[in-house]
Copies of this chain bind each other. A is one copy, B any other.
Amino acid sequence: MKIIQENNLVLIVYKDKRYLKRMGRDKSFHGRGGALNFSDLIGSRYGVRHGQYEIFEPTIEDIIMYGIRRETQIVFPKDGAFICFKLNLRNGSRIIEVGAGSGALTVMFSRVIGPQGIVISFEKEERHYKNSKKNIEHFVEWGNVELHHGDVMDYANNGFDAAFIDVREPWIYFDKVRDLIRGSAPVGMIVPTANQLTDILRVLGSGFGDIEVIEIMLRRYKTIAERVRPEDRMIGHTGYLVFARKLESIQLVQ
């Protein structure tokens, strides 16, 4: 049984609206379901109704969707969850991220690799670096993220288990990323346009094998038993995902 404590994050649900709030004795929330004094929540359990609101312990999805402050287009959960899976991330993985953006995916990586893993993330743009730094400070629970303000090109370690590239011109980093990860390790990237796909596919094959391009569409349904049907509107596009695995330059003699 978990008790809501001061400074805890709480998810407040009202119908299909969700709000992520940090608890404070003198703070409150004013929504369509009326006022909610956080001092009334502190000390009570997660998973209760409070007037017209439902009060939950936030999941990683709630944090990504309602916690992360966005200064860039973030990688959405439908893509992020699949990326973690395709990159084979797990307890203890060591991953390189090129382009932290707002840090949403960084936070997901951190979660998936656990306290024994490490995310080394690079962000060149100062404004995004500062924002992602704050997001990481607020939402990473294990100290397993190392955020660099700079260019991965200047980074020298290697032997990483996986890499993800989320920048406008990912191909610039293919050789470098290949140096950083170990043989057979997966690399992923996300790009919004088909033009970028073309540019990626032109060069990715030299140094990487088993190339895949994937698009994930998520469709929500209404939740009324008597009227089962998709929502009227859906997200039409977030990005194209590309995955590959590092091939060593040596070739086995046959």
Contact = CB atoms under 8 A, between A and B. Distances in A.
A143 interface: no
A2 interface: yes
B114 A86 contact: no
Nearest to A214: B220
Contacts of A234: 233-237
Given A48-B251, A61-B86, A88-B59, A215 B218 contact: yes
A22 B119 CA distance: 31
A54 interface: yes
B210 A56 contact: yes
Interface in A179-233: 182-186, 192-195, 197-202, 209-233
Interface string A6-27: 0000000100001000000000
B1 A247 contact: no
Interface stretch (A77-85, A128-136, A149-157): A77-85
Given A48-B183, A195-B198, A221-B240, A88 B60 contact: yes
Given A46-B183, A82-B82, A221 B248 contact: no
Interface in A38-63: 40, 44-51, 54-57, 59-61
Given A45-B183, A213-B221, A223-B213, A197 B194 contact: yes
Given A56-B210, A184-B57, A201 B224 contact: yes
If over half of A's interface residues share one DSSP class (helix, strand or loop), that class is named, otherwise mixed; here it is mixed
A126 to B, nearest CB: 26
Contacts of A81: 81-82, 84-86
A54 B220 CA distance: 37
B228 A237 contact: no
A90 B198 contact: no
A217 B220 CA distance: 11
B235 A232 contact: yes
Nearest to A236: B234
Given A201-B223, A229-B194, A216 B217 contact: yes
Interface of A: 1-2, 13, 18, 40, 44-51, 54-57, 59-61, 77-78, 80-82, 84-88, 90-92, 108, 111-112, 114-115, 142, 159, 182-186, 192-195, 197-202, 209-237, 240, 245-248, 250-252, 254
